[in-house]
Structure 1
Amino acid sequence: MIQERWYELQERIRQACLRSERDPKDVEVVAVTKYVSLETTREALDTGIIHIGESRVQDAIPKWQQLGDRGKWHFIGHLQTNKVKDVIGRFHYIHSLDRISLAKEIHKRSQNHRPVPLCFIQVNVSGEESKYGIQPSDLIPFAKEISQYGSIEVCGLMTMAPFTEDPEEARPVFRELRLLRDELLKLKLPHINPYHLSMGMSNDFEVAIEEGATFIRIGTSLVGKELD
């Protein structure tokens, strides 16, 4: 079943890339497995999916212990500072760097680990109070401060658009993140190389791709949902 969804998803990605004159190879899919079992996560990897996304440390660790040597693991949820020690050394990417206290803890915990996890700065472009992330106006000062931490490598920006029935309503959010990325790239700050854009989920990933997404996060429509 995952295999069929995977083929369908790849075709939709290809079509979105055609519309925006992009190479499908530049778009990576993070399979969000936080609601599925170890067995289903294994099936996703067996299908050929490389990137696995988890958002709860306590649920992710048992899967990682069995499957951690396969694929690349992404922590995509809000990361509590006291959980950083459990994430470093297990996850290749952290998508939710959104405050200085978290940056300091990642820096401290990463000094004895190589390679260090690649981090996305989470930006609350939509301004929704229910979402985490720094404000767009705070991005440059935030990036300048964390660029002083040698054990943090920023590879991109992440955002979550409002959930709407019409994906077009998310387009301004994705476009704004791309513009913020372009502005940040021009500064050429040390340890800040934000080429990647983590944006777009099952309901709006095609619009996100058209606006420059390099990582899309796909959950239920790809791997299903089994767990509470």
Structure 2
Amino acid sequence: MDVADQIKTIKEELNRLDVTLVAVSKTKSLEDIMAAYDAEQRIFGENVVQELVGKYEALPKDIKWHLIGHLQSNKVKYIAPFVALIHSVDSIKLLKEINKQAHKHNRTIDCLLQVHIAAEDTKFGLDHVELIELLRSPELAQLNNVRIRGLMGIATNTPNEKEIKEEFRELKSLYDGIKSSFFGEKPSFDILSMGMSSDYKIAIEQGCTMVRLGSTIFGGR
């Protein structure tokens, strides 16, 4: 099945479930991305800032680009003019830099707070205590050019589906608690980004609203 057919099949499934598809295009060619674009996919995710900027410059301007990888503060300025959503915010320091760069471009940048849910130390993200501290921080209330849209998490890379399920369930529970405690009736806190090609079906079962799929769409590297 080619890229266009894969996009069509997956989007039909996800639209039915009201789940948004981020097509993870890291390392993929402009031709591959355009094949997905021609199949009406408009949201693409990249994890390297330099690659993201190059693709933004080369491809149609109605694409919504998501930064899904770890983001260093000194790289924010390169994506601030155009990025649609940053999935991987893990500190107030990073939020302040995003706010500063967004202000320069008269934009409000949507962000997700990345929560560390995996057993592996190699994954980035806030633990539960750090997340609550960030949300309670007086500094956060001063940031008028960022908008917290939800949470993101990456499950442990394991064949143990029970473990993955528990990690996603925990993140969904945290998302629900934070939504009611900190955001009340604000409709803008509405994204739970969890699930990749290897585990997105489990993530959907556990209540995600957004999945990040690469190899499922484009094939292996």
TM-score past 0.5 threshold: yes
Q: Matched residues in 1 for 2:106 and 2:213: separation? A: 28
2:104 alignment partner, SS class: coil
Q: For CA contacts below 8 A with separation 6 or more, give which structure has more relative contact order.
A: 1
Match of 1:77 in 2: 69
Match of 1:209 in 2: 204
Given candidates 145, 152, 160, the residue that maps to 2:154 is 160
Out of 177-186 and 165-174, give the one that drifted further. Answer: 165-174
Given candidates 123, 128, 131, the residue that maps to 2:115 is 123
Q: Does 1:100 align with 2:92?
A: yes
TM-score for the superposition, normalised by structure 2: 0.90
User: How well do the aligned residues superpose, as a CA RMSD in angstroms?
Assistant: 2.1
What stretches of structure 2 of length at least 5 have no aligned partner?
none
Distance 1:201 1:79, change over 3 A: same
What stretches of structure 1 of length at least 5 have no aligned partner?
15-22
TM-score for the superposition, normalised by structure 1: 0.87
Distance 1:198 1:54, change over 3 A: same
CA contact (8 A) 1:155 1:192 kept: no
Q: How many residues align?
A: 217
Q: Matched residues in 1 for 2:159 and 2:216: separation? A: 15
Q: Matched residues in 1 for 2:56 and 2:181: separation? A: 36
Match of 2:179 in 1: 185
Q: Any residues of structure 2 matched to 1:16-165 within 5 Å, and which?
A: 23-24=16-17, 26-145=18-137, 146-165=140-159
2:169 alignment partner, SS class: helix
Q: Matched residues in 1 for 2:92 and 2:188: separation? A: 18
Q: State the one-letter code of the partner of 2:129.
A: S
Distance 1:167 1:29, change over 3 A: farther
Out of 34-43 and 155-164, give the one that drifted further. Answer: 34-43
